[in-house]
Amino acid sequence: MQPAEPVQSAARPVGRGAKVRAAVHAATLAELLDKGYAALSVEDIAQRAGVHKTTVYRRWVDRDSLLVDALADHLATDLPVPNTGAIETDLRALARSLVQMFTSSTGQAILAAMFTGAAHLPEIAAARRHVFDDRLTRGEPVVARAIERGELPRDTDAAELLKTLAAPIYLRLLITAEPVNEATADQAVRVTLAAARAGALRPARVSKAATG
Amino acid sequence: MQPAEPVQSAARPVGRGAKVRAAVHAATLAELLDKGYAALSVEDIAQRAGVHKTTVYRRWVDRDSLLVDALADHLATDLPVPNTGAIETDLRALARSLVQMFTSSTGQAILAAMFTGAAHLPEIAAARRHVFDDRLTRGEPVVARAIERGELPRDTDAAELLKTLAAPIYLRLLITAEPVNEATADQAVRVTLAAARAGALRPARVSKAATG
Amino acid sequence: MQPAEPVQSAARPVGRGAKVRAAVHAATLAELLDKGYAALSVEDIAQRAGVHKTTVYRRWVDRDSLLVDALADHLATDLPVPNTGAIETDLRALARSLVQMFTSSTGQAILAAMFTGAAHLPEIAAARRHVFDDRLTRGEPVVARAIERGELPRDTDAAELLKTLAAPIYLRLLITAEPVNEATADQAVRVTLAAARAGALRPARVSKAATG
Amino acid sequence: MQPAEPVQSAARPVGRGAKVRAAVHAATLAELLDKGYAALSVEDIAQRAGVHKTTVYRRWVDRDSLLVDALADHLATDLPVPNTGAIETDLRALARSLVQMFTSSTGQAILAAMFTGAAHLPEIAAARRHVFDDRLTRGEPVVARAIERGELPRDTDAAELLKTLAAPIYLRLLITAEPVNEATADQAVRVTLAAARAGALRPARVSKAATG
DNA sequence: GATTAACCGAGACGGTACGTCGCGTCTTTTG
DNA sequence: CAAAAGACGCGACGTACCGTCTCGGTTAATC
């Protein structure tokens, strides 16, 4: 019987592999930023990453799946759940973090890719939803605490509230192309709170009376 | 937004021209609906229109400008301004018309094209803004009348209100991919009215004190 | 093999097509001569022909079928049947024409391609046999006339005789790589005639081994 | 024609080395037989030999030199010089041994490789010539003895005679693709003897009279 | 109702990028 | 130390669609 050596077996990252992966990811985002989704070319990405085209194709089946992977990798950052003791400042933190996410220059590029260029890819659609759901999940405790503190009606619908908070920001980013900044975030908070306090963000009533 | 040879009015009706134009437009939208923007091919469109590829290129410089033209042509429809005598029903009409616009099957295709596939094209961006501004313009008198009737605070910002109304609908269409229907519209109205009545939709205050 | 160009009447050769075809054929043979079969690249051929790679692929499915076509085109030349009145001089003409065929510089290249590089392609094998059969056919009357003149035994097997004539030439070309020239041809004639006159070139006699 | 590490005799038995070498050789020939030269792949050979690709490259610089080595290894068999007492039976033995060599299934594969697929390689060309010269060398005493016995003219050129013997066999193998069997060999003998006895296989006369 | 200029059909072409394959090299881990 | 394992650079392959071009043949407004 042999003395079991410190078995580092399990995974074998091989070393170079990880470096290549990172370089290509970075190059992908850089190219995305420079030229946009439509003009992304695997060859250019590879060259920028100091890597050969075939190497890219060895790791990613597709130009698209490379992009998806790079974006997913970039978005894998979870922010902390704010807890300032007051709903207004909590929401402000959430809204502002959303604004920040998409106003850096890379944020812009990612936004463009996720919502316009590569939007047609199912994985990107999934990523989009995932990012959003993530923020919803993170926001729920904030609402719950506010309800406990009596700042909001008991049956306030957290998801609805958070969507109301995010909606105007996305609208400006994606449709009206107005500048988006902290003021935008703050205004969203104001509207959301007003609606919530007025009880407009409780679960949809099932009454079918609302017609006409 | 017109093709290379827009009206040419007086001189010559040219004959075939108009028919070709229409057929290609139709084929473009049909292909868009079937395959989506990414898979649009001029050759396929031409074939579907019963026309040769070169004929398409004779009238439109680009695949993209063909698409832009076809979409512009399709969107050239102005809805009436609602005037029911009450802000709630007026807003409901506006919101529901927005929902309707993007839930028909062609509406879906157009939405996808305008906001995802072809979103990177400046003309499409312009069209997007144009459509939106158009709805803003149409909505302003509605708000004005409500203010006169005393249903809303005097200094309510019409544009802000209408964006608040539209935002959650777009959010669901473009991001969360939740089903969008009349209930969505009605809920948007509820939130918007609550915020407006609470005074949260007045012009942004200039104070730079807004720091949580 | 070329349709006389001036006549654009009945069919529609489109004009350019024929020129491209010829240019590519020429370039193919030239490259074959320069670099040999193993190093043939479609891109290089295309460039040499002043044509784009895709154009080559539009007309020929394959690198190989391009080569086959170019060779076939080049080999489509039928020499006259010699008729000098004496079997010796007739055979000498045949043998020398064979030698000539494969000793020009392009002949060498073609030889190499047909018997070594591209030999594995069924079409090339077919072409090889075709060329040989063609020479057999052309040689038969020569033998027939010699028999009539009484220069050869009545039942001399023409095919056998012609193979005996060609065999040592091919042997030197393909195996021993000795220089091949008119003397080689003449020596082949000498041997062939000696064998024929001695009656060694009559149909395989006897037994069940009559395979031909 | 030896691998990177030829004999290394005394020093070290190398252990695995010889086994690997043999396995790869066998696998090479097997693959050659299955798929032909054009489709030979180092990876497949390695796998068939139960060995890793890099191991192959450690021992042979090239795919081609591997093949050359494998073939050389296979061809290193010298047959005995026939001596039956009569030129006819001696030649028949030689001719039949040639036929046998290339009609076994592996013989076919080797033939194809040496004369078509890998023919362009200098080492293969050398091997080809070597094999042939070997047979010439082996045949010379046969001719010498026949001359001594008075069966052939004194100045009969042995090399020329043996080429005349081999040529029709190679012709059928490589060009006409006719079936080759003992009858073919025997017919070659008949022709060769007839020519030799008629004095057509004496050294080439230098007279330049032979024209037209 | 013939003329004629604009328009259309047909199809090859140059060009860019795609994604694939196999060679031969290199580095790291294992026996 | 040699072999296994497997990523990598590299070059060519063959494909798809873009937008361009040239040539004939059609068509429909005008004379």
Under an 8 A CB cutoff, do B120 and A112 touch? yes
- The CATH H-level superfamily of A87-197 is Tetracycline Repressor, domain 2 (1.10.357.10)
Q: Are D and B neighbours with ≥3 CB pairs closer than 8 A?
A: no
Phi/psi region, residue D199 (left: phi>0; alpha: psi -120 to 50; beta: rest), is left
Most A CBs within 10 Å, among B162, B186, B187, to test the A interface: B187
The answer to whether the beta carbon of residue D52 comes closer than 7 angstroms to any atom of strand F is yes
| DSSP one-letter string for chain C | -PPPTT--SSS---SHHHHHHHHHHHHHHHHHHHH-GGG--HHHHHHHTT--HHHHHHH-SSHHHHHHHHHHHHH--PPPPP--SSHHHHHHHHHHHHHHHTTSHHHHHHHHIIIIITTTSHHHHHHHHHHHHHHHHHHHHHHHHHHHTTSS-TT--HHHHHHHHHHHHHHIIIII-----HHHHHHHHHHHHHHHHTTTTSPPPSSS----
Under an 8 A CB cutoff, do C171 and D163 touch? yes
User: Stated in angstroms, how far is C43 CA from E15 C1'?
Assistant: 13
Quick one: what percent of chain D has pLDDT higher than 90?
Answer: 44
CA-based nearest residue to B64, from B3, B11, B9: B3
Give the SS3 label for residue A8: coil
Segment 190-209 of chain A within 8 Å of chain B by CB? 190-195, 197-201, 204
Q: Are A and B neighbours with ≥3 CB pairs closer than 8 A?
A: yes
List phi, psi (to 5°) of B73.
-60, -40
CA C127 to chain centre: 8
pLDDT tens readout for residues D180-205: 999 999 999 999 999 999 999 998 65
CATH of the structural domain A16-62, one choice from 1.10.10.60, 3.30.70.141, 3.30.70.240, 1.20.810.10: 1.10.10.60
Which residue in the block uniquely carries the two structure tokens 């290609």?
B24
Residue B17 pLDDT > 90: no
User: Stated in angstroms, how far is B51 CA from E10 C1'?
Assistant: 11
CA-based nearest residue to C69, from C127, C3, C4: C127
Give the SS3 label for residue D155: coil
- As a whole number, the mean pLDDT across chain A is 86
pLDDT tens readout for residues A22-71: 999 999 999 998 888 888 999 999 999 999 999 999 999 989 999 999 98
Predicted pLDDT at B170: 95
Across all strands, nucleotide nearest A13 (CA–C1'): E28
For residue C89, the chain D residues in CB contact (below 8 A) are 212
CB half-sphere exposure, D54, CA atoms < 13 A: 0
Asked if residue C35 lies in contact with residue C90, where contact means CB atoms within 8 angstroms, the answer is no
Distance from CA of C162 to the nearest CA of D (A): 11
Predicted pLDDT at A117: 78
Nearest CB to C187; choose among D125, D178, D204: D204
Where are the domain boundaries for CATH 1.10.357.10 in chain D?
87-197
Tokens of D70: 């494998």
Measured CA to CA, the distance from residue C52 to residue A58 in angstroms comes to 29
Report, in ranges, which bases of strand E sit under 7 Å from a protein C-beta.
6-30
User: Stated in angstroms, how far is D19 CA from F27 C1'?
Assistant: 82
Tokens of B162: 């209408």
Predicted pLDDT at D186: 96
| Protein residue at shortest CA distance from C1' of E11 | C14
Measured CA to CA, the distance from residue B141 to residue B134 in angstroms comes to 12
Under an 8 A CB cutoff, do A195 and B191 touch? yes
Under an 8 A CB cutoff, do B204 and A187 touch? yes
User: Stated in angstroms, how far is D118 CA from E23 C1'?
Assistant: 16
Number of neighbours of residue A128 by Cβ within 10 angstroms: 21
Measured CA to CA, the distance from residue B180 to residue B190 in angstroms comes to 16
Nearest CB to A175; choose among B132, B182, B192: B132
User: Stated in angstroms, how far is A9 CA from E30 C1'?
Assistant: 11
Predicted pLDDT at D39: 84
Fill in the DSSP letter of residue D79.
Answer: P
Architecture of the domain delimited by D16-75 = Orthogonal Bundle (1.10)
**D166 to C111, D102, D126, D173: CA distances (angstroms):** 20, 12, 18, 11
Measured CA to CA, the distance from residue D131 to residue C4 in angstroms comes to 51
Q: What number is the average pLDDT over the span D66-78? A: 82
Tokens of B7: 């009206």
Segment 153-182 of chain A within 8 Å of chain B by CB? 160, 163-164, 166-168, 170-172, 174-177, 182
Residue A141 pLDDT > 50: yes
Residue A167 pLDDT > 70: yes
Nearest CB to D204; choose among C183, C195, C198: C183
For residue A89, the chain B residues in CB contact (below 8 A) are 212
Q: Does B115 touch chain A (CB under 8 A)?
A: yes
Predicted pLDDT at B186: 96
Residue B37 pLDDT > 90: no
The alpha-helical segments, DSSP class H, found in chain A are 16-35, 42-48, 53-59, 63-75, 87-101, 105-112, 122-148, 158-171, 182-197
Quick one: what percent of chain B has pLDDT higher than 90?
Answer: 46
Residue A209 pLDDT > 70: no
CA D54 to chain centre: 31
Among B28-37, B200-209, D91-100, name the one with the lowest average pLDDT: B200-209
Predicted pLDDT at B16: 63
Quick one: what percent of chain B has pLDDT higher than 70?
Answer: 87
Q: What is the chain A residue with the closest CA to B197?
A: A194
Under an 8 A CB cutoff, do C174 and D176 touch? no
User: Stated in angstroms, how far is D111 CA from F1 C1'?
Assistant: 39
Measured CA to CA, the distance from residue C94 to residue C84 in angstroms comes to 11
Which residue in the block uniquely carries the two structure tokens 């047959």?
D79
Tokens of C27: 């370039």
| Protein residue at shortest CA distance from C1' of F7 | A17
Give the SS3 label for residue A193: helix
- As a whole number, the mean pLDDT across chain D is 84
Tokens of B163: 């964006």
Q: What number is the average pLDDT over the span B41-55? A: 92
Residue A14 pLDDT > 70: no
Asked if residue B42 lies in contact with residue B57, where contact means CB atoms within 8 angstroms, the answer is yes
Give the SS3 label for residue D16: helix
Under an 8 A CB cutoff, do B116 and A120 touch? yes
The answer to whether the beta carbon of residue B53 comes closer than 7 angstroms to any atom of strand F is yes
Most C CBs within 10 Å, among D33, D64, D163, to test the C interface: D163
Name the amino acid, one letter, at A53. K
Number of neighbours of residue A92 by Cβ within 10 angstroms: 24
For residue D164, the chain C residues in CB contact (below 8 A) are 168, 191
Tokens of A130: 């995932």
Q: Does C129 touch chain D (CB under 8 A)?
A: yes
Across all strands, nucleotide nearest B57 (CA–C1'): F19
Under an 8 A CB cutoff, do A210 and B186 touch? yes
Tokens of A20: 């290549």
Q: What number is the average pLDDT over the span A141-151? A: 95
Number of neighbours of residue C54 by Cβ within 10 angstroms: 9
Predicted pLDDT at D205: 59
Predicted pLDDT at D130: 85
User: Stated in angstroms, how far is B113 CA from F17 C1'?
Assistant: 20
In this predicted model, which residue has the larger pLDDT, D118 or A103? A103
Under an 8 A CB cutoff, do D120 and C119 touch? no
Under an 8 A CB cutoff, do C209 and D166 touch? no
pLDDT tens readout for residues D170-185: 999 988 989 999 999 9
List phi, psi (to 5°) of B47.
-60, -45
Across all strands, nucleotide nearest D40 (CA–C1'): E22
- Mean pLDDT per segment of 10 residues, for chain C of length 212 residues? 37 64 93 89 95 95 91 81 93 94 86 81 85 89 94 94 96 91 95 95 62 41
User: Stated in angstroms, how far is A58 CA from F17 C1'?
Assistant: 25
Burial class (CB in 10 A: 0-12, 13-18, 19+), D122: exposed
Segment 46-75 of chain A within 8 Å of chain B by CB? none
Which residue in the block uniquely carries the two structure tokens 């400006």?
A172
Fill in the DSSP letter of residue B37.
Answer: G
For residue B126, the chain A residues in CB contact (below 8 A) are none
Predicted pLDDT at B209: 47
List, in order, residues 6 or more apart from C34 with CB less than 8 Å away: none
Rg of chain C in Å (alpha carbons): 21
For residue B191, the chain A residues in CB contact (below 8 A) are 164, 191, 195, 200-201
CA-based nearest residue to B135, from B86, B101, B179: B101
In this predicted model, which residue has the larger pLDDT, A160 or A111? A160
In this predicted model, which residue has the larger pLDDT, D20 or D201? D201
Predicted pLDDT at C36: 86
Tokens of D176: 């006409």
Under an 8 A CB cutoff, do A129 and B187 touch? no
Residue D9 pLDDT > 50: no
The answer to whether the beta carbon of residue A211 comes closer than 7 angstroms to any atom of strand F is no
Most D CBs within 10 Å, among C175, C201, C202, C211, to test the D interface: C175
Report, in ranges, which bases of strand F sit under 7 Å from a protein C-beta.
2-24, 27-30
Tokens of C22: 């010829």
Strand (E) or helix (H) holding B162: helix B158-171
Q: Does C125 touch chain D (CB under 8 A)?
A: yes
Under an 8 A CB cutoff, do A115 and B116 touch? yes
**D6 to B156, D21, D45, D73: CA distances (angstroms):** 94, 11, 21, 12
For residue C190, the chain D residues in CB contact (below 8 A) are 195, 200
Residue A11 pLDDT > 60: no
Measured CA to CA, the distance from residue B59 to residue B57 in angstroms comes to 5
Measured CA to CA, the distance from residue D88 to residue D133 in angstroms comes to 21
Asked if residue C99 lies in contact with residue C184, where contact means CB atoms within 8 angstroms, the answer is yes
The answer to whether the beta carbon of residue D45 comes closer than 7 angstroms to any atom of strand F is no
List phi, psi (to 5°) of A82.
-70, 150
Q: What number is the average pLDDT over the span D3-27? A: 60
Asked if residue C95 lies in contact with residue C89, where contact means CB atoms within 8 angstroms, the answer is no
User: Stated in angstroms, how far is B16 CA from E15 C1'?
Assistant: 32
